[in-house]
Structure 1
Amino acid sequence: MVLSGKRFISVIAASALLASSTLGVAASFPANAVVEYWGQNSAGAGGSGSQKNLASYCDDSTDVLVLSFLTEFNVGGLPGLNFANACTTTFDGTQLLHCPDIGKDIKTCQAKGKKIILSLGGAAGSYGFSSDAQAQTFAQTLYDMFGQGTHKYRPFDDAAVDGFDFDIEGGGATGYAALSDSLKSLSGNKLLITGAPQCPFPDAMLGDALNKAVFDAVFVQFYNNYCTPSGSNFNFDTWDNWAKTTSKNKDVKVILGLPGSPTAAGSGYLTFSQIQTTVANVQKYSSYGGVMFWDASQTYSNTQVSPNLAVAVANLVHGGGGSTPPPTTTKAPGTTTTSKPTTTTTTGTSPSPTSGGGKCVKTGDSCPTNNQYICSGNSFAACSNGQWVVQACPSSLTCFTTTDGSSIYCAQPASGSSGNTCASNSGSLTPSSESSKKAPKPYKNNRVQAQLSVVSTTDSTWEAVINARRTDLKPFGSKVVVGFSLGPQMSLTEAQNGKVTQSGSKVTMQIQNPHKKSMDLVFKIKGTIDNDGVFVAPSGSGMTFQS
C-alpha cells in the first residue's frame, strides 16, 4: 500500500510546536534507566520471538525506547528508514517510509513519561559525512522531519521524537560532533543526544565526537568485543573516567549495553545472575545510568528468568542495585592436566581498557582447583597439585581471558608491550599500572578495522567473533570474502553465514552479509586445535577483506 504524501502538519501548527520547543528546561536523561532498542525485529530474525508494536513496550519495564534505524542519510534529499515489520508503507512517489501507527505509539509512550529517541546508523545501510557542513545540513533535515520543525514529509506525522541516537557502526568519524551541536542549537538544548559506541576505547567512529560535543548518555555496547563483563577486560571504569574527565557534559550517563538473549549478539550475553553481579559492580561509578538492551523483542521474549528478562532487569535497575559480587574465578580451558592456553596474534592500534580481573601469583603459591587456568599479569598460571605454576606467553604476547570468562589465551597486546605487569609489593605480587592497559590488537587498514575476540577455548576447540567496521563511506556488499592465516595444527571448521575453505594455513571465508549492504559485519567462527598446536590468529599483514 502506498500512501499519499499530503498528510503532514500545517505550518501554523508546526510553528506553535517550534515556539514551544525553544522554551522550558534543557533535556534530561532518566536516572536508573532501562533502555530498549526497537524496530529491527531481532527476535524474529533469530527465531526466538517476534517484535510487537512500539506501544506494547511502553510499560513499567522500559524508560527509553530507541527507534532503529535511520539507515541512509542522503544529505540534501530524503533519508532512508528501516523498521522491519513495523512499517512498510511509503509516501507517494518516494521511498521514504510513512509510519502513522508508529507516530501514534510515540505519543502514547510519551504520555506515559517514556523518552522516544530515533537512532541513526546501525549495521545495515550506507551512511556518513564528508564534511561538518554536510552534518549541519542534515541536522536541519532531522529537526524538520522528526523534531519540532516543519517539513512536507514527516514519517511520524505530528509526533516528535525526544532526541537522536548515534549508533555509528562505520563510515568514518567526520561530522558527528557538528551534528550533535547543530541539533542541540536548533532545539534550544531540548533534544536528547545519545551515542552507542562499541566498548573498545575510544570508539573508532564516535570517539572524536564524544570528546568534542555534548552527549546526554552513551549506550556502550559491551558485546561482540573483548571487553564484555564476563571476561577480564571489562572496561566500564574507562568509560566512567571519560565521562568525568573528558566529556563536555560532566553529567553524561554511561549505560551498560547488553544483548537481550543468546541470539541477540555474537558474544557477550549474560544470564540474569551475571547481570545482577555486573550491575552491583558498576553502580558504584557516578556516571552509571542504567542498562541498555539490544533489543526489546529479545528481552521481552527471553523467559530464562520469570516472567521475562525485561521485567527482571527493570526491577533490578529501578531498585537501584544488584547482588553482592562473588569472588571472580576463571575455569580451566580444558578438562585434563595437559590443557594448554590458546595463543593468538593480531595487529592494529586501540587504546586499552582499565578494569578486569588482574591477578598476580607466583609459582608455588597455593591454588584452590586443579586444572584451573588464570592470567597472572602478562603470563598465565595453571593450578597443579594445589600450587600455581606460572608460564610466560610466547614472545611479545600477553595473556587474556576469553570473553565468556571460561578460559584464557595469549595474544599480541594493542600497546605492543609485553613487559611484566605484576609488581613486587612487600614480597607479594600485585597488578601494576600496566596491567590495566591490556587489549588485543585489532586489524586495521585504511578501509576496515576489525577485532577478533576469542569467546572460548578448550584443548581441542576454539570459538571467536570477528567484528569488522568500514572506516570509509563505502559499505560492505552482500558478499564479503575474508582471508587470513592460521597457526600450525589449527583448522577453521565453521563461519557464520559463510563457506570455509582452507589450504594449509591459508583460510578463506565467503561470508553472506545478512544485509544487502552494511557498515559493519559481525560473525562467529569456530575451529579445532591439535593437542600439540597453539592458536595463532590472523596477523594484520595477512588479513584481507574484499566486498
Structure 2
Amino acid sequence: MGDHPIAAAPVAATTTAAAAATPAKAAALRSGRNKFIIIGVSAAVLITAASLIAYFATKGNKSQGASAGSPGSSTSPGTGSGSKPTGQKLFGYFGADAMANGVDILLGTLPPSTDSSTYQKDLAYYCNTGYFDTINLAFLNEFGGGDNHFRFTFGGFSIPNYVTSGTYIYTGGQTETNSPAVVSSYLNLGKDIKTCQANGVKVIVSLGGDKVSDYKFSPGDGKRYAQLFYDMFLEGTHPVRPFGPGVVLDGIELDIEKNPAYPGPSPWTPEMIDMINTLRALSPKTILAIVPQCYLKDLNYNGSDQNVGAVIPAVADKIDYLIVQYYNNPTCSYPFNFNYYEWTKLFKGKIVVGLAGDWTSAISGGFLEPGPLQAVYDEIKSDPQFYGFSVYDVSSSTPPALSKSPATYTNPPPTTYSKALKDVLSGVTVGSGFPSQAQLGITTDKQYSKRCGGTWVNANQTCSNKACTSNADCGKFEQCFDYMRNC
C-alpha cells in the first residue's frame, strides 16, 4: 500500500513503475447482492436528503481562509504543531510522470509508456498554471548507508526542456560526477525552480517515496544527511549544487514508506528524528513535512503509521504539516472509512489530504471524481487543521493529460482535475457530493464489495463478484485489496 510509481524515462537508470502512486480507478460502488438493492436505495435516498439539507444549511460557511489558497501565498513555515492554517493550499508532486506510467483503466497494469508525447511537461509549465501553491520534487529515492550518496529518479523528463535522463547520482564526494547532459538537465530544472518561486510557488524535495526504492538509514545518517541536504539544497554551501549555486529550495519532506523491521518498531526512527531536528536547527525557516500512509489499524503499531508513526509525535513542534496519503490505501480512503478525524487526534498541526491525480495514478484505488471530492471537502472543510489537498501527480491531473472514464474511454477529453481541486479549495462547488460508506455503518471487510482487479474501474465493471484469494489472482503486477484476500 501507498506506493507512488515513477514512470520510466527512455534514458533513466531506474524505473519504479510499481512505486510512488501506482495508479487506479474506482467508479461507482456496488454491493453486488441483489437482495440488498431495495434497502440500499432507500438508505441512499435518506442519506441524500440529509446531505442536501446539511449542504444548504451550511452553504457559504467555508472554513477559515479557504479562499486564500492561491499560488504565491506563504505557508508560514517553521511554526510547528501549534500553528493553524492560514489558507487551504494545493500541493502537487512533480517528477514521477504518472501520466505515462502505463496503467489502463480497463486493462490494468501495462508496461510504462515510451511515447515522449505522453511525458510530463517542464516544471515551470505546472507552476505557471496558477493551480499549485507548492510543488514537491518526487523523488530523491535513494540515499543512506553512511557514505552521503544519493540518487534522484525523475521519470520522463520533457525533452528538449531538460535534455536527457531524469536520473542524477551523487557519489558522496566533493566533485560533480554526472555527465554534462545530466548536469545541464538539472541546471535547467533549477531555472524552472526559480521561476516557480518567483511566481510564489514553493518547491520542496521529497525524500523516499515508493517502498521498493533503495533508501535506508544507517546509524548517523539522520544528522549526516540533514547537513548534506542543507548544504546542497538549502541555504548552506557545497561545491556540488545539482540545481545550480543560486537555487535554494523551500523545504524537505520525508516520504518514508517502508519499515525494515516490520512488524516491529522501525530502527530508522531515531535517524529520522535526528534528521528533522538537525534540519530545523540549521534552517529555522525551512518547510519540513512528513508523509504517512492513512492506514492506522495495524495492531502492531497502536493506531499509528507503521513507518513514521513514532517520528511524528517526537518532532511535532518541528514540522509544518503532514500530507496523509489517501490513495493506494483502500481501507482508510474515501469511501471506505475515510479517517481524517483520527489523524487530527494524532497530530495537532496542519494536515494535507493526499489524493491521486486520476484513476491511473493510484492502482490500488483512491481517486476522487468531483462528486466524492466535494463530499470529502464538505466533511472536513471547517476543521481548522485541514490545510488543503495534494495531488499525485501534476502530470496526470493537468492538461495535456487526458481524463479517461468508461464513458469516454475511446475519446477522452483533457483532464480538468487540477482545476477542480483548486476550485473546491476556493469554495466553488465542483460536484454533488455523497456520504462516506462509513456513515452507513459498513465497518468490516466482508461488508465491502468483493471487487478485484488492476483498477477499481475494471473491478466495478468486470469482476465485482470475483472471489479473490491472493494478490496473484489479479496478475503479477496488480494488487487485490487486503480485505479481499479471504473473500
Q: Does 1:178 align with 2:259?
A: no
Pick aligned residue for 2:340 from 236, 253, 259: 236
**Whose radius of gyration is greater, 1 or 2?**
1
1:130 aligns with 2:218: yes
Q: Which amino acid aligns with 1:261?
A: D
Percent identical: 28
User: Paired residue for 1:461?
Assistant: 466
Rate the CA distance shift 1:190–1:462 in 2: closer, same or farther, 3 A: farther
Structure (1/2) with the larger helix percentage: 2
Counterparts in 2 of 1:226 and 1:41: CA distance versus 1, 3 Å: closer
Flag the 1:229–1:134 CA change in 2: closer, same or farther, 3 A.
Answer: closer
Deviations 1:216-239 (A, max 9, x none): 111111122234443332100011
Q: Tell which deviates more after alignment, 122-131 or 299-308.
A: 299-308
1:322, 1:241 → 2: CA distance?
29
Q: Which amino acid aligns with 2:204?
A: I
Paired with 2:142 and 2:215, the residues of 1 have a C-alpha distance of: 5
Structure with greater strand percent = 1
Tell me which of 252, 258, 271 is aligned to 2:369.
Answer: 271
**Residue 104 of structure 1: aligned partner:** 191
Distance 1:134 1:258, change over 3 A: same
Task: Structure 1 unaligned segments of length 5 or more: list them.
Answer: 3-24, 245-251, 331-355, 360-374, 379-397, 410-454, 464-485, 499-510, 512-522, 528-533, 539-547
How far 1:162 sits from its partner (Å)? Answer: 0.4
Compared CA separation, residues 280 and 262, structure 1 to 2 (3 A) = same
Q: TM-score, normalised by structure 1?
A: 0.56
Distance 1:236 1:459, change over 3 A: closer
Aligned equivalents of 1:492, 1:290: Cα separation in 2: 33
Among 140, 147, 154, which residue is 1:76 paired with?
147
The Cα offsets for residues 445-489 of structure 1, whole Å up to 9 and x where unpaired, read as xxxxxxxxxx879774146xxxxxxxxxxxxxxxxxxxxxx4xxx
2-side partners of 1:82 and 1:408: how far apart?
33
Q: Which amino acid aligns with 1:254?
A: I
Partner residue of 2:479? 524
Aligned residue number for residue 384 of structure 2: 286
Which of 130, 134, 138 aligns to 1:60? It is 130
What is the match of residue 177 of structure 2? 94
Greater mean alpha carbon deviation, residues 304-313 or residues 88-97: 88-97
Q: Over aligned residues, Cα RMSD in angstroms? A: 3.3
Q: 1:194 to 1:316 in 2, by over 3 A?
A: same
Alignment-derived partner of residue 119 in structure 1: 206
Deviation at 1:272, TM superposition (A): 1.5
Instruction: Write the distance in 2 (CA, Å) between the matches of 1:493 and 1:138.
Output: 39
> Is 1:190 equivalent to 2:259 in the alignment?
no
Q: Return the alpha-carbon distance in structure 2 between the equivalents of residues 166 and 180 of structure 1.
A: 9
Q: Is the 8 A contact 2:140 2:153 kept in 1?
A: yes
In the alignment, is the contact (CA less than 8 A) between 1:43 and 1:297 conserved in 2? yes
Match of 2:486 in 1: 537
Distance 2:86 2:193 in 1: 17
Decide whether aligned partners of structure 1 residues 137 and 536 sit closer, same or farther in structure 2, where only a CA change above 3 A counts: closer
Letter of the aligned partner of 2:479 in structure 1? K
The partner residue of 1:32 within 88, 92, 96 is 88
- CA shift in 2, pair 1:459/1:212, >3 Å: closer
**Ranges in structure 2 where 5+ consecutive residues have no aligned partner:** 1-10, 12-75, 80-84, 105-117, 158-163, 260-265, 297-303, 405-412, 453-458
- Give 3-state SS (helix, strand or coil) of 1:181's partner: helix
Any residues of structure 2 matched to 1:81-480 within 5 Å, and which? 81-86=152-157, 88=165, 94-95=177-178, 98=183, 99-123=186-210, 124-131=212-219, 133-157=220-244, 158-171=246-259, 172=266, 173-174=268-269, 175-187=271-283, 189-201=284-296, 202-213=304-315, 214-244=318-348, 252-265=349-362, 266-300=364-398, 301-303=401-403, 308-319=416-427, 325-327=433-435, 356-357=438-439, 359=441, 375=442, 398-399=444-445, 401-402=447-448, 406=449, 460-462=465-467
TM-score by length of 2: 0.62
The residue identity in structure 2 corresponding to 1:107 is K
Is the 8 Å Cα contact of residues 205 and 253 (structure 2) preserved in structure 1? yes
Distance 1:180 1:193 in 2: 7
Q: Which amino acid aligns with 2:369?
A: T
Q: 1:325 Cα shift?
A: 4.7
- How big is the shift at 1:179? 0.7
Q: CA deviation at 1:495?
A: 3.2
CA distance in 2, matches of 1:492, 1:146: 40
For the Cα contact (< 8 Å) 2:326–2:332, is it kept in 1?
yes
Q: Which moved more, 1:72-81 or 1:157-166?
A: 72-81
Secondary structure at the residue paired with 1:152? Answer: coil
Decide whether the 8 Å contact of 2:89 with 2:133 is kept in 1: yes
Alpha-carbon shift at residue 50 of structure 1 (Å): 2.3
CA distance in 1, matches of 2:242, 2:391: 25
**Does structure 1 residue 495 correspond to structure 2 residue 474?**
yes
Distance 1:306 1:492, change over 3 A: closer
**SS of the residue aligned with 1:273?**
helix
Higher RCO, Cα 8 Å, sep 6+: 2
Q: Is the contact made by 1:228 and 1:268 (CA closer than 8 Å) also made in structure 2? A: no
Deviation at 1:269, TM superposition (A): 1.5
Taking structure 1 as reference, are residues 162 and 321 closer, same or farther at Cα in structure 2, changes over 3 Å only?
farther
Name the SS for the 2:292 alignment partner. Answer: coil
Shift of 1:79: 1.4
Structure-2 residue corresponding to 1:336 = none
